[in-house]
Amino acid sequence: MATEVETAIPTAGTNAEGAQPTNGDDLIAEFAVENADHYVRQFHKIGATQSYAFTFNPWAALLGPLWTGARSLWGVFWLFALAEMLAIVQLGRGLWGELGAEQLERAAKLTARAEERQAAAVQAIKDAATNAEALQKSAETLAKAAANAMANAEVALAQGPRLIVIGLVLLVLVKLAEGMIADWALERRFSQWRADRTLRAGLSHAGFIGAGILMLAMYPMTIYRFTVANPPEMLTTFPADRDLRIAVSEWLDKGFDLITVNGEAVFDSITFGVRVLLDALETILVGTPWPVVMAVIVVLAWRLAGPRVAVFTVAALAYLAFLGFWEKSMSTVALLGAAAFICIAIGIPVGIWCAKNKTAFTIVRPILDFMQTMPAFVYLIPVIAFFGTGKPPGILATLVFGMPPVIRLTVLGMRGVPASVREAAMAFGANKRYLLFKVDLPLAMPSIMTGINQTILMCLSMVVIASLIGAKGLGEDVLEALQYAAEGQGMLAGFAILFCAMILDRIVQGRGGSASN
């Protein structure tokens, strides 16, 4: 293994200039072990400026990923290895790559077909067949296609020297970059090592060997893949078992059927409860005369968010009314209200529980990650299987997407309550109930209100997707516009959804304390 011993420490008590080293120099020497005087100079240069200071490590430039493995810089190892592979692949393609092999193969096949068609044309002429002229033209067309394929193959073959130059230039640039980055990366690790002495210092023979093994595994395989015209299927296609996928799919189908049959009463009860809440909201928003509903919304906007938001609310509601979106907008807000109410009623208590219990949050957090990252169209499948289609299933599908923000931000707000405030309240005899409702929740309220705001907006963003399973509302108009390419209708309905979202956002923000709007 090539080591950095050419400039080892002159003596145990002196630095490169012969003077007594500082404590910082001793630490750098203890960390670097080999070539310590180089790192003393470079680390001081890096630490003396807040901007970029040019440094160059010749050993890192020469050894590349091997140096990062020896220095235990595995994050930088992958950066260096991938950059080198890109350059070496271009170099390998130019040196021994089968350039134009695919076009040559195509030209050979077209030439054989043209010869066959030409022979058939000659025979047809001899027999005075009616298709002789068509066969002749077909043979000429195939011959032209074969000539074009051969020309393309020659062009590809001519790219060899160009690829060699590109590969060499890239390799040189990568090596220069490796030398310039190395000392910065090692200085950052030195800072970490000073805080945590369990980190490995000096050169690691095991890391050097491990980096070499990884390079021997990656480089030849990658170069072979990109230089051979027809690489083995095992290098291009993962050996997946299609029968396994079918078996798992059938097992899931049976599981869904079993749950649907045995849990029918539970699912019907949930659907009934959601429908009762939704019917109540639709009675208030849709059944009540529109002037009353409009007046209530404007007054709420005025009282909670200020006169400017009230003026905007009047303009937005006028847009909904004059373009005929009033009833569907109120129906959409009813769907949103039902979904948001359930999200908040469940999310805030769960968030408080998770903030108080680390084990609970450890269990709930992966579930929240799943709920936020799973594509909406995927979790529509079990919703349809268990609850059917219509407005209640649309609300239940919206819950999956809308509940995580209020839970996460409730946890964040509760954990952000200063411990000194809680200790002071407890010192004055506050019990757990008083702490929760008079200390924790008021101080966490800004974060909780942000979570409520995000939940409402995320529920509204599900309007179009929920319309796929019969939730209707404004999402239905957008869906129809997509189906029939009605751009105007889709844009008008989209603006209606936008205005509903903006009204709700401004009112909720005003309730959270931004009444100055």
| Model pLDDT, residue 103 | 77
Cβ atoms 456, 401 nearer than 8 A:
no
3-state secondary structure 323-361: CCCHHHHHHHHHHHHHHHHHHHHHHHHHHHHHHHCHHHH
Q: Which of 455, 366, 363 lies closest to 410, judged by CA? A: 455
CB-hemisphere CA count at 13 Å for 118?
12
Alpha helices in 357-440 (DSSP H): 358-373, 376-387, 391-415, 419-427, 432-434
Report CA-CA distances (Å) from 486 to 465, 477, 478, 481, 482: 18, 10, 9, 4, 7
Q: Which of 456, 458, 471 lies closest to 505, judged by CA? A: 456
The C-alpha angle 24, 47, 207, rounded to 5 degrees, equals 75
3-state DSSP helix/strand/coil percent for the chain, to nearest 5? Answer: 80, 0, 20
Report CA-CA distances (Å) from 405 to 13, 348, 401, 492: 59, 10, 9, 29
CA distance 454 to 225: 47
CA distance 182 to 190: 12
Q: Which of 387, 412, 360 lies closest to 466, judged by CA? A: 387
Q: Where are the domains of the chain?
A: 23-97+162-236, 101-158, 278-511
Q: Which of 5, 59, 33 lies closest to 190, judged by CA? A: 33
Helix (H) or strand (E) holding 149: helix 132-157
| Model pLDDT, residue 428 | 84
Whether the pTM exceeds 0.85: the reply is no
Token pair 């949103």 in the structure block, residue:
336
For the purposes of burial, counting CB atoms within 10 Å of the CB of 158, is it exposed (0-12), middle (13-18) or buried (19 or more)? exposed
CA distance 82 to 173: 13
CB-hemisphere CA count at 13 Å for 391?
22
Q: For the range 140-144, what are the long-range contacts, defined as Cβ-Cβ under 8 Å and sequence gap of 24 or more?
A: 140/114, 142/110, 142/111, 142/113, 142/114, 142/117, 143/110, 143/111, 143/114, 143/118
| Model pLDDT, residue 4 | 46
CA distance 74 to 338: 50
Each residue's pLDDT, cut to its tens digit, for the chain (517 residues) gives: 444 433 333 333 344 444 444 557 888 888 988 888 899 999 988 888 878 889 999 999 999 999 999 999 999 999 999 999 999 988 888 887 777 777 778 888 888 888 888 888 888 788 777 777 888 888 888 888 888 878 887 777 777 888 889 999 999 999 999 999 999 999 999 999 998 888 888 899 999 999 999 999 999 988 888 887 777 777 777 777 788 888 888 898 888 888 888 888 888 888 888 888 888 888 888 888 888 988 998 998 888 888 888 999 999 999 988 888 888 888 888 888 888 889 999 999 999 999 989 899 999 999 998 888 888 778 788 888 888 888 888 888 888 888 999 999 999 999 988 888 888 888 888 888 888 888 888 999 989 988 988 888 888 877 777 787 877 778 888 888 877 778 888 888 888 888 888 888 888 777 554 433 3
Residue 469 DSSP symbol: G
Report, in angstroms and rounded to the nearest whole number, the Rg of the chain calculated over CA atoms: 35
Q: Which of 227, 219, 221, 224 lies closest to 159, judged by CA? A: 227
Cβ atoms 335, 278 nearer than 8 A:
yes
Token pair 């299609």 in the structure block, residue:
242
Q: For the range 112-116, what are the long-range contacts, defined as Cβ-Cβ under 8 Å and sequence gap of 24 or more?
A: 113/142, 114/139, 114/140, 114/142, 114/143, 114/145, 114/146, 115/139
CATH number for the 278-511 domain, one of 3.40.50.11540, 3.40.50.1010, 1.10.3720.10, 3.30.750.80?
A: 1.10.3720.10
CA distance 283 to 337: 13
Tokens standing for 19?
Answer: 């003077």
Cβ atoms 499, 320 nearer than 8 A:
yes
- Looking at residue 368, its amino acid is L
For the purposes of burial, counting CB atoms within 10 Å of the CB of 379, is it exposed (0-12), middle (13-18) or buried (19 or more)? middle
Dihedral angle sign, alpha carbons of residues 72, 74, 76, 78: positive
Strand partners, 14: 11
Dihedral angle sign, alpha carbons of residues 414, 415, 421, 422: positive
DSSP assignment of 43-88 equals HHHHHT-SS------HHHHHHTHHHHHHTT-HHHHHHHHHHHHHHH
